[in-house]
Structure 1
Amino acid sequence: MSEMGYVDAEERERKPSRRRRPARGSNRNLLIIGGAAVVVLIVVVVIAMVTMGGGDDKKGQAAAAARVTPKVYVNTPANSLVNKLNERSKDKRPLNKSEVFGDDAKSVSHGNYHFTLVGSQLSDCASVTWGQELQNDLRKYGCTQVARGAYVSQDKKYLGQFVAMNLEQLQGAEQVVRDLDPNSKAGFVSPLAAQGAENFGSGFSAAYSQSFGHYVVISWVERAGGAQPQTMNELLDASIAIERADDFVWERLVLAGG
């Protein structure tokens, strides 16, 4: 566990996707299985972070919406099951919006968390990210596309953002995952504003990231309104639902002969 209360990546080694792997909840539940002591420590750190992270400068709604970061950020080592996607040269076709946010991604669920896609966008990398260091690395490592989808839970209690970044190779994807850690102060990706999710990220949120070959995938969630959750398990389970939009990666792996 890092200084900010993030769980070490080794504790969260994920398993393959729905079509190629067993139940997806088991990977992140390693955060919970670690025992009551770990959960208590996370809650204590979360409370401290919320207390310290209160009101920075208020430069207007637009700037605040564009430059927000999660209060909790967890990254996991690159998924070795998709090694055939480590180089974009073997996966040349650009992403398209209907591929990433097709029928399977319009409604995503995990346990009691059910989300509906309310907006999606495929953009260049510079226009939807901020932070000089992050943007320098995105250029250096050949980022060509960022796909973003905004989700609202059916009960309107949770919001989610799914992000996929298309880089040239695994090395660059791993560097971007490190850059996205708020501790690095390198920058972050701006959430997609959509109906019902206009102010995403302005309160307490958690983001979970991982490299899948030359792609970076982020599942970013919060309670509607940004309130602090009673336990991190809430956002953990919600994030697993949002992560189900990563099926395009596994389809790409099949096409690459994986």
Structure 2
Amino acid sequence: MQASGEMSGEGLPASFQSWPSVKELAPIGDRKADSAPLTVQEVFGARTVTAGKVTLRRLAGRLDQACTGAVWGADLADALTEAGCSQAVRGLYATADGVYVAQYTLFNLADVAAAESLAKSLASLYRGAWVQPLESPRAKFGAYSEGNAYVLGHYLGVAWIGRADGAEPGEKDDFIMLGLAVRETEKAVFRRVVKVAGVPSDPAQPAGPADTAQPAEEPPSDPGASPTVSAPAASTSAQPSVPAAR
């Protein structure tokens, strides 16, 4: 499903797309089978995430037990309540040169049907409601950004990417790899499949190198935010492939 934004600016993406869950995530299609709560360390413990030539450094992480605190807009808050949202965990990233910014939000919902419904609702809601950006002096979303949602069993992942200066992407801006880099955090979800099903999962491979997340180092705490240092610069547009679990 796809939609184009009628308004854009700080806090709102200019475009939005979403994709349904994949069969490999069926074991966690209901929160009853995957009841352990999320933590910032589990999802955003890796200090860096990489796809292709794009490397992002974690700048902040936050866990909200009240999902409505992670978004703005009454309609989106109501939709999260209807979806049975119990947690929202966010991670903010940027490239070392500060040119690109990305944030990933993972919502813990009742079941896959609730996640699918919320993704469909976001196709219209994003024009006037969205996730709250985490604050950092080294990363801020500008006038132009892109949003993408991925149904991951009973979770909904929302990737938000853009240039820090708010400019639209040009020929040298690889937003595909930028989106794939921040989606490396989805490996936490696939590790849960392994834990629940007791067998290795084998999701579709993303474009570009796999297994690029680095070991955890100075992880952020729940529910606060934690800064990190900069990393090598990267040039950087998002697609619906799914990171492999290891």
Give how far 1:186 is off: 6.5
Q: Letter of the 1:181 partner, please give it.
A: A
Alignment of 1:122 with 2:70, yes or no, is no
User: What amino acid does structure 2 have at the position aligned with 1:108?
Assistant: V
Instruction: Please say if residues 150 and 161 of structure 1, whose CA atoms lie closer than 8 Å, have aligned partners that are also in contact.
Output: yes
Q: Which runs of 5+ in 2 are unaligned?
A: 200-246
Residues 98 and 2 from structure 1, CA distance in 2 versus in 1: closer, same or farther, beyond 3 angstroms?
closer
Aligned to 2:132: 190
- Distance in 1 between residues matched to 2:117 and 2:128, nearest whole Å: 11
Asked which structure has the greater RCO (Cα within 8 Å, sep 6+), the reply is: 2
SS at match of 1:69: coil
Match of 1:249 among 182, 189, 197: 189
1:1-258 equivalences in 2 (<5 Å): 2=2, 4=4, 53=7, 68-102=11-45, 105-123=46-64, 124-182=66-124, 185=127, 187-197=129-139, 199-200=140-141, 202-231=142-171, 234-257=174-197
| CA RMSD, 1 decimal | 2.2
| Equivalent residues of 2:76, 2:125 under 8 A apart | no
Query: What TM-score, normalized by structure 2, do the two folds share?
Result: 0.73
Task: Give the conservation status (yes or no) of the 8 Å contact 2:145–2:161.
Answer: yes
Q: C-alpha separation between the residues in 1 aligned to 2:153 and 2:86? A: 15
How far apart, in 2, do the equivalents of 1:205 and 1:171 lie?
28
Q: TM-score, normalised by structure 1?
A: 0.70
Task: Among all aligned residue pairs of Structure 1 and Structure 2, give the percentage whose two residues are the same amino acid.
Answer: 27
Cα distance change, pair 191–101 in 1 and its aligned pair in 2 (3 A): same
Q: Structure 1 residues 54, 241: CA separation in 2 closer, same or farther (over 3 Å shift)?
A: closer
Is the 2:16–2:126 Cα contact (8 Å) retained in structure 1?
no
What is the CA-CA distance between 1:178 and the residue it aligns to?
Answer: 1.7
Deviations 1:157-212 (A, max 9, x none): 11010110000111111111122224664632111112312x32x31111221110
1:254 alignment partner AA: V
Give the gaps of 5 or more residues in structure 1.
Answer: 5-48, 56-63
Which has more radius of gyration?
1
Over 3 Å counting, the alpha-carbon distance change for 1:208 and 1:233 in structure 2 is farther
SS in 1 for 2:67: coil
**1:139 deviation in Å?**
1.1
Distance 1:80 1:209 in 2: 17
Could you tell me how far apart the structure 2 residues matched to 1:54 and 1:169 are?
31
Q: Any idea what SS the aligned residue of 2:68 has?
A: coil
Structure 2: distance between partners of 1:254 and 1:246: 13
Q: Distance in 1 between matches of 2:33 and 2:3?
A: 38
> How many aligned residue pairs are there?
197
Task: Return the offset for 1:154.
Answer: 2.0
Deviation at 1:131, TM superposition (A): 2.2
